[in-house]
Amino acid sequence: MRLAIEIQREEKSTQEPIESRTTSELAETSARENRSVPAENGATQGAQHLALAARATNDAVRDWDVRGRVLFWPQGLESLLGYKGSAATQTIGFWQQQIHPDDRAGTAAKIRDALNGNAEHWTGEYRFRHADGSFLDLLERALILRDKHGKAVRFIGSLMDITARKHLQEQLVRSQKMDAFGQLAGGVAHDFNNFLTTILGYSDLVLSEIGARGSIASHISEIRKAAGRASALTGQLLAFSRRQPLEPRVVDVNLLIANLERSLLRLLGDNVSVVCHLHPGKEGPHIQVDPSQLTQILLNLAVNARDAMHSGGRLTLETSCVTLSPETEISLCGEPLSPGDYVLISVGDNGSGMTDDVKAHLFEPFFTTKQGSGNGLGLATSYGIVRQSGGNISIESEVNKGTTAKIYLPRVAPPPAPTYKKPGRLPSGTETILVLEDDIGVRHISVRVLRGLGYAVIEAANGDDAQQLFAQSGERKIDLLLTDMVMPKMSGRHFADWLRKTSPKTKVVFVSGYLEESLHPRDRLDEGTFFLAKPFDPEQLARKIREALDSKAITR
């Protein structure tokens, strides 16, 4: 698209002389008008000052004769933009053609409006093609010279490379979006844990009343298992929002990948299919790793595979058990693996593949082949996590033949099967407990469980109500406060501080949808207080209450 800036020529009999002098000529004229400096010396100094100023800024300068459509480059054509001066670079068409197609029309319209108006300056941003084919983000500040009739005759612009600044701004925006999404995910997980606490609590109550056998008990057990899986999902959300400390535990790899498959389908899109070949056997292979970290590694590899399959393709996930001997040769990154039993997780695609040069730098921090997106930390972080877990990674790839990432992690024995314990075996007591919880479901199940264990329970939905109930209790002693950390009006932390002033011997158990280690610094627990993470079941609640009540008082 050509820049639509055409100024009709006037009749020769009425046309005024056109200013078409160069920047150095303007400087010479200005110097001559200064009577205190000789004309020749002034012109030389002026030209030198302008040249030095241009060199100091490292900008490009374009001087455009608007009527003649001639373009002159006093500075930066080669040093900034990479082009050597030629007849082609001296036409306005050269500048027009190098502007990014998406920016061309908008930039043309803005400059046209400035020239047709009475503006003396113009400022704009656009992308400009460098001689090597890449695009630079340029900020242009221009001076518009006009004849005595006010018509634009020259357009002198300074072009500054702001590519690095734009990338930093984009990274900041992405970072802010991810931080906001992380806060949202953490908040959703916190609220969801309230629902799960209610589900787990009432499931256990029903099982205790009807016994652990029969079809109804089987149905309730399935509900409880589903709540447990949902609890694992909220743990992933909390890990994503960086509100949960990451800790390794024994994980069934087949189960983790099976639960991840549906999320992968949504992430990869309709044109990428997912095929899973999981290690056969009654019990899946087990490894000791942080499940959130492993999930993040697999998601990162899946996204890389999707980006390599531009027109769609197939992502293959496989698990197997291998035994490495001293003679086994595997092309691994970093230190070789010790002989032993390992679980092999393979993530393969049939995409564009990688060159040997790319593979050589694949796990280096900040190395990325994704221009304009990605920070180059995904694979480097994945490598660090796998190495810390006692494993290693190998990458097999050929151009146009796809890529396969193989993760080796030490195989461990599966954990013992969990056993269900009836609530009747839970520790009980007769002390007085104040339950402060704004979520009605969590409050009701907590009160019901504690009263069923023999405790005298006072319940309140907010801090104001709790203060009134405490004042009405008179001489009645409050042995323990069970309170949520985050509540409207008055937080559990503030109410506990208020209560300690009146009843310093009252024990405190804080409850939160976040883990203790991830609490805000102002909410960190003092010595002598206890913490219970949501979602919790009746057994966890009963044991934590008894632990707090049986603890020794702390002298304050």
pLDDT at 397: 86
Q: Which of 506, 481, 476 is CA-nearest to residue 491?
A: 481
Per-domain residue ranges for the chain?
A: 58-161, 249-419, 423-550
- What's the mean pLDDT in 409-423? 73
pLDDT at 11 over 50: no
pLDDT at 2: 42
In whole angstroms, how far apart are CA 495 and each of 53, 149, 552? 65, 77, 22
Check residues 259 and 104 and name the one with the higher pLDDT.
104
CATH number for 58-161: choose from 3.40.50.880, 3.40.50.2000, 3.40.50.300, 3.30.450.20: 3.30.450.20
pLDDT at 228 over 70: yes
- What's the mean pLDDT in 419-448? 81
pLDDT band at 203 (very low <50, low <70, confident <90, very high): confident
The model's pLDDT over 493-525, given as tens digits with 9 standing for 90+, comes to 888 888 888 888 889 999 887 654 444 444 455
Handedness of CA 150, 152, 156, 162 (dihedral sign): positive
pLDDT at 187 over 50: yes
pLDDT at 123 over 50: yes
pLDDT at 232: 67
Class of domain 423-550: alpha beta
The model's pLDDT over 229-275, given as tens digits with 9 standing for 90+, comes to 777 667 656 655 545 545 688 999 998 888 887 777 777 877 888 88
SS3 call for 197: helix
Task: Give every CB contact of residue 535 below 8 A, 6+ residues apart in sequence.
Answer: 193, 194, 196, 197, 199, 200, 227, 231, 234
Q: Quote the percentage of the chain above a pLDDT of 70.
A: 72
In whole angstroms, how far apart are CA 61 and each of 26, 81, 96, 309? 15, 11, 15, 42
Task: Give every CB contact of residue 481 below 8 A, 6+ residues apart in sequence.
Answer: 433, 434, 436, 495, 496, 499, 506, 507, 508, 509
**pTM for the model:** 0.44
- What's the mean pLDDT in 153-172? 86
pLDDT at 45: 59
DSSP class per residue in 475-528? T----EEEEES--SSS-HHHHHHHHHHH-TT-EEEEEESS-GGGS-GGGPPPTT
Region 249-419: CATH code:
3.30.565.10
The model's pLDDT over 74-102, given as tens digits with 9 standing for 90+, comes to 888 999 999 999 999 999 999 999 999 99
The model's pLDDT over 30-39, given as tens digits with 9 standing for 90+, comes to 334 333 444 4
pLDDT at 433 over 80: yes
pLDDT at 192: 79
Please give the span between the terminal C-alpha atoms of the chain, in angstroms, as a whole number.
79
The single-letter code of the amino acid at 51 is: A
CA distance 194 to 205: 17
